[in-house]
Amino acid sequence: MNNLAFGQYYHTNSVIHRMDPRTKILSSLLFMIGLFIIPKNNFLFMGIFALFMVITILLTKVPLKKFLKSIKFVTYLLLFSFVFQVLFNSEGELLLTINHNLTLVNVGICLVVLICLFLLRKKIPLFFILFLVVLVLGVKFLEYPVYGNVLLNYDIKVYTGGVITGAFVISRVLILIISSAVLTLTTKPTDLNNGLEALLKPFGKKTSILAMMISIALRFIPTLFLETEKILKAQASRGVDFNEGKLKDKIGQIVSLLVPMFIISFKRAADLADAMEARGYVPGEKRTKLVKMNFTLKDVIYLLSIILIITIVIIYRVI
């Protein structure tokens, strides 16, 4: 159940944890903007960003696993965008040509292998790596016209531009996803609330409500995940099997999950609103703060180093 709630606050009391939440919010924002203004295919800058991220992650002392968890959800997306670039980008030099001779037999074999893989996907450890190997072998295999008439013959031309851009796109998305976890892993929801509130202050008095909403939402994510799991089990006890059934059954199954979730969440929200009101919370009103935000030397250094990197990128682009 815990593996669902990725990016939840993880306590280590590192330098990054002790940093001012405002610094962390601002630097996360700047870092992401920076990632997108790196000139295309410039691996030097990408490397600098990656290095910066790695140093930050090491400083947090949070297990690397916590950061990598979120990648799981985008592996196939990344693979797809890479293949897409390789196939359709014809910039640069010709790297290699793959001549495919499709026959009924070799296409058939490939399909059977793919289907077997798909069916066994949950029983194989490190499935993704196996999948990659099979993919490469499959592409090679289709070159040989195994038995029978060649139905289709075509060339796949791979250019350096495609490979480079593909790698560039992948590394950008990877860095983006991994680094986005830094903020929530190292900042308590309450601190995040304080930081956001302080940063949003210039935009109006009521922005503190938004900050409170975000922090409450973060606070309740683990609770809601636990709840979802209980509902799943309760419905499974009534014979719901999420792995089978036609589309029509599937919809019914999802409804049986969503309705209790909504009902429980609304009840929870109403209770929480009562509790907050009873404890004197008035949305948008002035509040004192237990945590004093301390903008110290480490914040200055961290923020300056990001600004420095981005400035160099901008100067490079302008020139």
Partner 1 sequence: MGINFYDVDFTYDVKASKTLKNINLKINKENEFITILGHTGSGKSTLVQLMNALNLPNKGVVEVAGIKILPNNKEMLKPVRRHVGLVFQFPEYQLFEETVLKDVMFGPKNFDKNNADVELSAKQALKMVSLDESLYERSPFNLSGGQMRRVAIAGILASNPDILVLDEPTVGLDPKGKTDLMEMLVEIQKETNKSVIIITHDMNVVAKYSKRCIVLDDGKIVYDGGKREMFENSELLKNHNLDLPDISKVANSLKNKGLITFEALPLTKDELFNVITRGDENE
Partner 2 sequence: MKIEFRNVTFYYKKSEVVLDNLSFTIEDGTMTAIIGHNGSGKSTIAKLIIGLLEPVSGEIYLNDELLTIDNLDEMRAKMGIIFQNPDNQFVGSTVKDDIAFGLENRLIEREEMIRRIEKYSRLVNMEEYLEKNPENLSGGQKQRVAIAGVLAMESDLIIFDESTSMLDPKGTKEINKTIKSLKNMNNGKTIISITHELEEALYADRILVLNGGKIVLDGSPSDVLPKKDILEASGLKVIDGLSLIEDLKKIDFESKDVILEAIWESIFTM
Cβ 62 to partner 2, closest distance in Å? Answer: 15
Strands annotated E in 111-212: 152-159
Cβ 249 to partner 1, closest distance in Å? Answer: 8
Binding mask 203-242 for partner 1 (x = CB under 8 A): ------------------------x--xx-xxxxxxxxx-
User: In this complex, which beta carbon is closest to partner 2, that of residue 14 or of residue 101?
Assistant: 14
* Closest alpha carbon to 28 in 244, 211, 229, 175: 175
Q: Helices H, strands E: what count in the chain?
A: 12, 2
3-state class percentages of the chain: helix first, strand second, coil last, to nearest 5: 70, 5, 25
Give CA–CA dist 257/181, Å, rounded.
28
Cβ 250 to partner 1, closest distance in Å? Answer: 12
At which residue do the structure tokens 């979120």 appear?
70
Cβ 1 to partner 2, closest distance in Å? Answer: 11
Answer for which of 14, 101, 256, 293 binds partner 1 (CB under 8 A) is 256
- In contact, 179 and 29? CB cutoff 8 Å: no
* Closest alpha carbon to 313 in 34, 75, 7: 34
Residues lying near partner 2 in the complex (CB under 8 A): 9, 11, 188-191, 215-216, 218-219, 222-223, 267-268, 271-272, 274-282, 285-292
The answer to the question of residue 267 lying near partner 1 (CB under 8 A) is yes
**DSSP bridge partners of 96:** 158
Give CA–CA dist 9/180, Å, rounded.
13
User: In this complex, which beta carbon is closest to partner 2, that of residue 23 or of residue 208?
Assistant: 208
User: In this complex, which beta carbon is closest to partner 1, that of residue 62 or of residue 175?
Assistant: 62
- Give the residues lining the site for partner 1 (CB under 8 A): 1-2, 227, 230-231, 233-241, 255-256, 258-260, 263-264, 267
